[in-house]
Amino acid sequence: MQLRSNIKTRTGEFTYRNSNHIRTAPLLALVWAGLLGMSIACGETGNATGPAENTVIIERMFATSSSEPGNVVGLFGGGDWSSRASHAPLDGVMLYLQDAANWNAGGVLEPGVELTGIQVECSGPVQTYQMFINGNRFGDLSCGEYTALNNRVVSLYLGGEHTYSADPLQLRISDIQFYVAGESEPQRAPVLYPEPIEATLTASSTTEPSAAYDVAFLFDGRREFGWVEGAEGDGIGESVQIDLNRSLEISGLEIMNGYQRSAEHFRKNGTVRSLQIGAGERTIDVPLEDKMGTQRVFFDESLNTDSLTLRIETARSGSQWKDTAISELVLLGPGGKRYGIHSERNAHQAVALLEKIRNTSLASLVGNRMTTDNTCDGEQYSMVLRANGSFVIWKEVARADREASYVMDGNWLPLKLAADVSEIKIFGRLHAIESLSSVTEMQSPYGPGANSAQTTETDTIFSDVLRIQTEDAAAENGAAAQSCFDLIDAPEDYIISIEGNHVSGWFHY
């Protein structure tokens, strides 16, 4: 494809001098030597052009909270990760993994790696963590002890238990070691992860509310968040500028196209069909697949640059909204290097949010999992608001005729802040798993004698307003807890109501 001329960016105009092509080959950029104390320099891996085949690649990672911005990366760089202090910590670290056997395969990637075991070292007071593999509870993990897995692991979450502590607790993990099959016994695997590079991020536009779709979300490790352009139409010509603090050799990209919070979000929002990459006087056209998941593209010629512009050339319109989105990015270097961006925008988002809610009814809730003390007609709720702007609300239904689990997760933004009553906007995904056991044999699609229970699983997009009042404020406003919620002797009690999704009652932590 020819380099294009007269492509306007924040720094001026490009003029072409030569031709460039891209190939949708491997992307997997790995990174850094020294990960977990193990050298991963290409010349020491047994593979002259990339990582050793037993290498575990961390595609992306994030922490639900951090005591210092970005310190989750310290897990693989000689430091550690620590959470914000909390009375009822429900924080943790999420890792998405790939193996290195197909590190140079292009297109939409096959995620996951075969692991025989894991060992986690912890330096804080909490020495037992809940472990979730591929979204399912696997069991508890004791720090300093080898835990057998023997699973293909796509995602790994390590989190603290929900236990109230009079003194705030801080979760602290200092090392994560992965083990793969060896000739006679499991062997510790080298690890490659996105090296954090300091940079300034600028978007030509962002849809409202801009705090929920900021350009910094491109490098936060979460597919549930991303940058969404805010121009009229499909966003053709909108761009992201990445100004690096040093020059890098960039050989490709790893990208999560579209808004990948759920299949419904992906379908209803737009995706990029063609992306133009600009560096100095050079531009390269990158075609992208209109699919969920992570995809890799490599350039035929690397770009040696300290500044990149990513411009939307063509896009697929969303079925409901014309906003075009990109969920995640990783920059790729030669020989399997991979780079993430650490920007001031990322670093200060949580700090700014916490400062904004100081001295309000939200201040002591963020980071603590709150639960109802009793069930209401077989229903029980719990929730957590996190400092990174995300939330989760769980609803469990256990009745004779019906069992169901609901999870609402997504963004939260302050609307009204006060010491006694606050309101926040919540929006994102409502995931429901419902089993109806009241279906008769005649109603069953499988006829007499078949299992009469019917189970459905759905994802829908939702938004709502959540009001949080202190107990005293609720009494003054005439609000009353539902009779099936018991008020217990806890340091803080709140009435929380979400009218549209039927969550209301007394919560405590």
Report the pLDDT value the prediction gives residue 21, as an integer from 0 to 100.
35
474-495 pLDDT, tens digit each: 555 555 444 333 322 333 444 4
Report the pLDDT value the prediction gives residue 473, as an integer from 0 to 100.
54
Burial (CB count within 10 angstroms: exposed 0-12, middle 13-18, buried 19+), residue 173: buried
368-417 pLDDT, tens digit each: 777 765 555 667 777 888 888 899 888 787 777 778 888 889 999 999 99
Q: Is it the case that residue 179 has pLDDT exceeding 80?
A: yes
- Alpha-carbon distance of 81 to 173, in angstroms, equals 5
Neighbours of 215 (CB within 10 A): 26
Residue 269 CA to its chain's centroid (Å)? 18
- Structure pTM? 0.80
- Alpha-carbon distance of 40 to 193, in angstroms, equals 11
Reading the block at residue 271, the tokens are 């995706």
Residues 6+ apart with CB under 8 A from 358: none
For residue 209, cis peptide bond before it (omega within 30 degrees of 0): yes
β-partners of residue 391 are: 385, 410
85-125 pLDDT, tens digit each: 887 777 899 999 999 988 888 899 999 999 999 999 998 88
Reading the block at residue 277, the tokens are 């990459």
Reading the block at residue 219, the tokens are 């490098």
- 382 or 193, which is more confident? 193
User: From residue 219, how far is each of 16, 226, 289, 344, 453 by CA, in Å?
Assistant: 29, 8, 20, 12, 43
Q: Is it the case that residue 507 has pLDDT exceeding 70?
A: no
Reading the block at residue 4, the tokens are 């294009």
Q: Is it the case that residue 10 has pLDDT exceeding 70?
A: no
Q: Is it the case that residue 25 has pLDDT exceeding 50?
A: no
CA angle 191–227–426, rounded 5-degree value: 100
Report the pLDDT value the prediction gives residue 485, as an integer from 0 to 100.
31
Three-state SS for 334?
A: helix
Reading the block at residue 239, the tokens are 């761009």
User: From residue 283, how far is each of 22, 278, 307, 340 by CA, in Å?
Assistant: 11, 4, 12, 21
